[in-house]
């Protein structure tokens, strides 16, 4: 028997979630954010399922090349631009779009004489203090890019939202105002909204939206389920019970003996551990589905295994199906139990876990 752990990816869920984005932001074009290997789902397959998107956002040249191989004509945007000048050759050859957020990048683009028509997204820092030009610097960089012979005329203004997942936080409105001010009278499209902006802040939609997490069927709002937002989870992390132990009262389970059996009880061993991307910090009580029924994690997560308390499911057998997260158990719930976010769990599914695609 091969090890039973796998990440099953429903490709139609991705397509359906993209349709939901279009329903929520009907006047906007959609850049599907597929960096980090399609948020852990597998970039090539994700790209094919989202082929209808108007552009794709990635971080590395390697990711951009995978996309180009999957979709020959796709518009591919390098979300942090080029890291070194010597990447520009590949960028030009494949016609990738560049986000420009640093003076160095502006200078290197201004020095390019060949390959007119490079498409550029000018990133403005409106409050993240991460990447982007200060609003006061925007006019000068916009003009330099506009004058650069290799750069296409339709420069898009973009910024990234810091607090859009909190509908009561005034930060989002402030960021939007700062982008509008920075842009002034310059022509060009705008792009602000991530998933939380798309769902919760219609005023941020503008010409381009940039959904990530919602495409994978996860709610961008803590406390609001994906189902309520009309999103379908794309990934199920599935495994099986590989051992059932009859423990005695007082027996300890796993490293550090963090779970001690309060009574004689069955303990199930599941083939999934932190070496697969299951969070090691998931505490006792984190839900796990065994044949569709919730049971609590019991004991510390090991590299290749985890253990569950089967007192409510004493008839469990070796081979019973386990869902670590998926349609029956939202990844956001597991993440919250483990003190992290769904993004980290999805992106962290290890390469050794086979991805199985359902078409």
Ligand X SMILES: Cc1ncc(COP(=O)(O)O)c(C=O)c1O
Residues identified as active-site: 35, 255
**145 contacts 106 by C-beta, under 8 angstroms:** yes
- In three state form, how does the secondary structure of 185-234 look? CCCCCEECCCHHHHHHCHHHCCCEECCCHHHHCCCCCCCCCCHHHCCCCC
For ligand X, give the closer residue by CB, 79 or 337.
79
Query: Which one among 213, 236, 247, 342 touches ligand X, defined by CB under 6 A?
Result: 213
**Cα gap 34→14, rounded to integer Å:** 11
Residue 334 CB, nearest distance to ligand X (Å)? 18
Residues that contact ligand X, how many (by CB under 6 A): 10
Residues 183-212 that bind ligand X (CB under 6 A): 194-195, 210-212
Residue 160 CB, nearest distance to ligand X (Å)? 5
Query: Which one among 20, 160, 206, 313 touches ligand X, defined by CB under 6 A?
Result: 160
For ligand X, give the closer residue by CB, 242 or 332.
332
For ligand X, give the closer residue by CB, 79 or 226.
79
Residues 273-292 that bind ligand X (CB under 6 A): none
| Helix (H) / strand (E) containing 6 | strand 6-10
For ligand X, give the closer residue by CB, 160 or 313.
160
Residue 39 CB, nearest distance to ligand X (Å)? 7
Q: Is position 226 an interface residue for ligand X (rule: CB under 6 A)?
A: no
| Helix (H) / strand (E) containing 56 | strand 55-58
Which DSSP string do the residues of 232-300 spell out, in sequence order?
---EEEEEEEEEEEEEPTT-EESGGG-EE-SSSEEEEEES--GGGT--TTPPTT-EEEETTEEEEB-S-
Scan for tokens 């839900």, then name that residue: 287
Residues 28-87 that bind ligand X (CB under 6 A): 33, 79
Neighbours of 350 (CB within 10 A): 14
Three-state DSSP class for residue 181:
helix
For ligand X, give the closer residue by CB, 5 or 213.
213
Enumerate the β-bridge partners of residue 118.
151
**143 contacts 122 by C-beta, under 8 angstroms:** no
For ligand X, give the closer residue by CB, 70 or 79.
79
Of 196, 190, 150, 153, the residue nearest 172 (C-alpha): 196
Residue 59 CB, nearest distance to ligand X (Å)? 8
Binding mask 86-125 for ligand X (x = CB under 6 A): ----------------------------------------
Three-state DSSP class for residue 75:
coil
Residue 276 CB, nearest distance to ligand X (Å)? 22
Scan for tokens 């003076």, then name that residue: 103
List residues binding ligand X (CB under 6 A): 33, 79, 160, 194-195, 210-213, 220
């Amino acid at each position: 028997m091969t090890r039973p752990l796998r990440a099953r990816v429903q490709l139609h869920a991705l397509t359906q979630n993209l349709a939901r984005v279009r329903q929520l932001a009907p006047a906007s074009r959609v850049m599907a954010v597929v960096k980090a290997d399609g948020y852990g789902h597998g970039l090539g397959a994700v790209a094919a399922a989202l082929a209808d998107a108007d552009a794709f956002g990635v971080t590395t040249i390697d990711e951009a090349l995978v996309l180009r191989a999957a979709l020959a004509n796709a518009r591919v945007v390098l979300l942090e631009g080029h890291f070194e000048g010597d990447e520009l050759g590949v960028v030009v050859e494949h016609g990738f779009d560049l986000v420009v957020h640093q003076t160095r990048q502006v200078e290197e683009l201004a020095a390019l004489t060949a390959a007119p028509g490079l498409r550029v997204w000018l990133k403005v820092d409106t409050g993240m203090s991460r990447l982007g030009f200060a609003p006061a610097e925007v006019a000068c960089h916009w003009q330099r890019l506009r004058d650069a012979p290799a750069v296409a005329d339709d420069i898009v203004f973009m910024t990234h939202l810091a607090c859009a997942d909190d509908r009561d936080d005034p930060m989002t409105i402030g960021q939007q105002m700062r982008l509008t001010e920075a842009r002034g009278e310059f022509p060009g499209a705008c792009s602000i909204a991530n998933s939380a902006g798309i769902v919760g802040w219609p005023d941020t939609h503008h010409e381009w939206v940039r959904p990530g997490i919602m495409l994978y069927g996860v709610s961008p709002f803590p406390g609001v389920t994906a189902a309520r937002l009309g999103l379908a989870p794309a990934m199920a992390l599935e495994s099986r019970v590989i051992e059932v132990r009859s423990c005695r009262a007082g027996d300890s389970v796993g490293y550090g003996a963090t779970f001690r059996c309060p009574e004689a009880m069955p303990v199930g061993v599941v083939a999934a551990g932190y070496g697969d991307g299951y969070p090691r910090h998931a505490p006792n009580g984190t839900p796990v589905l065994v044949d569709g029924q919730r049971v609590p994690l019991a004991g510390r997560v090991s590299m290749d295994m985890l253990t569950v308390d089967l007192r409510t499911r004493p008839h469990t057998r070796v081979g019973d199906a386990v869902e670590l997260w998926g349609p029956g158990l939202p990844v956001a719930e597991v993440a919250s139990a483990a003190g992290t976010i769904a993004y980290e769990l999805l992106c962290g599914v290890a390469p050794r876990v086979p991805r199985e695609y359902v078409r």
